[in-house]
Each structure stands twice: as structure tokens, then as C-alpha cells.
Amino acid sequence: MTSKDPDSSGRLYSADVIEGICEDYEIPRDRMSDLWAELEAAASVYIELSSSTESTPPHEIRQDLTDLAKVSAGLADQLVSLRPATADQLDGGIDLRHVRATSLASMDRPETPLTIPIGGSSVDFVLVDRADLAGILGDLASVASETASNIDEGKTGPGRVLALSRWVMMIAEAWRSYSGKAFTFNATNSGEPLSPAAVFASTLAAKLPSPPRQSRVNNEMKKHIKKHRAFHRKNSDQSQE
């Protein structure tokens, strides 16, 4: 334990490493604990996926996610484009389910309303309607599509490839959130990182168990940036339609 963080035991990154990152990239000290937690979470995901014995080929995982995105997007579109009379009937059915679930709550055979639990509680929840469901399905489609695009094949095995891809995605989001800057990549001809985001990623990667080669980290950063830009460009184009 240290005076810098009372719960620093068992963490991959030391308080000195995180404090140095905050100082180097002008990240407010009061956000240090939150940043630390996110970087530890990313490292945990990397370690778990790297040690996975999952034998499913990456292209099959990608296809599953692509299919899920297509189905989810289709259901979301269908929910918002129902005929008025059909929409009225469905909305009435949802409302009836809410009423019946409430009235039967104290009985032995309660019905389950369409809800979203708050804080993992079965008692505290938010009732959802057709528009909410369409929004959730649309978000699921977007997440599944983006996740599918981040799965890549390589010669190091599905687990290791997916682990590094997911790790880069998570630390890139942390960088954008806490530094307020774009996640960019620039390096010397020999592959030494130059841009602040690239140095940030390289510093963290070096602390991972069985650290990946710098060339692999560089390639994964470049692929992530390309996919991130393409994804947001596509969403921007769709919002203008």
C-alpha cells in the first residue's frame, strides 16, 4: 500500500507509473484513481484473453458478431417502422405487462415487466417502452459491429490477437477520456513511438505479462485508429441522411 492510493495492492501498474503518466500528459490528479482502475481493467482483459484456450477461429467469431449486429439492427428498424395500428397494439401489450407485473408483484407467480435493473437490483428498475427497446437494440447492433471489426487474424493465435486488439481499444478510450486528446500514432523509422498517445501505449504495454513486441503494439494501434475513424465517419454520414 502507498499513501498515493490506499488500495494499490495487487495491481499491475504501480502508483509511480500512473502518477508519472498523469504528470506527463497533464491529467488532473483527482482523476488518477479512475484512470488507474481503467488501465488495470484493460490489463486484466488482456491477461484473461491471452490465456484463453478458446479454439473458435477469429473469422467465425467475427461472423457471429456480424450476424448479431444485422439481426439487432433489423429488429430496431422494425420496431420504429411498424404500422401505426400495429405499434398501438404492441404499446398496449407492453403497458398491460407493466400493469400486470405490478399487481402480481406480491403473489407467488409474478409476471416480469420489461425493465432495466438499476445497479444490478431486481427491486430498483426502469420500465422500458418500444422506443427504449429500439434504442437498446440499435446500440447492441453498433457495439456488435464495432467489436467484429476489431477482431483480426494473425499468426500468434486467436487468443493473443484478440487480447492485444481489445487492450489497445480500451487504453485508447482511456487516453481520449482522460487526456482529452486524439489517440494518434507516429513513430521513428525503427518503430520507436513518438506521438504522446503512442508513448503512453508503449509504456503500458511494457508492463504487461509477457509483453507483446513493440512492432505488434504499433500495428494494432494503427489498425485501431483506422477502424475508429472509419466507424465514426460512417456514423456521421448516417446522421446526415
> pLDDT of 30-68, one tens digit each?
999 999 999 999 999 999 888 765 557 778 888 999 999
Counting Cα atoms < 13 Å in the Cβ hemisphere of 32 gives 21
Confidence class for position 125, pLDDT limits 50, 70, 90: low
Domain residue spans of the chain: 15-51+150-235, 70-136
Phi-psi region of 116 (alpha: psi -120 to 50; beta: other; left: phi over 0): beta
**Dist. CA 135–CA 172, nearest whole Å:** 26
Please compute Rg for the chain using Cα positions.
Answer: 22
The pLDDT of 140-160, averaged and rounded, is: 70
Q: CA–CA distance from 212 to each of 13, 26, 119, 194, 217 (Å)?
A: 16, 27, 36, 18, 7
All 3 cell numbers of residue 35? 484512470
Identify the DSSP state of 193: B
All 3 cell numbers of residue 175? 487516453
Confidence (pTM): 0.59
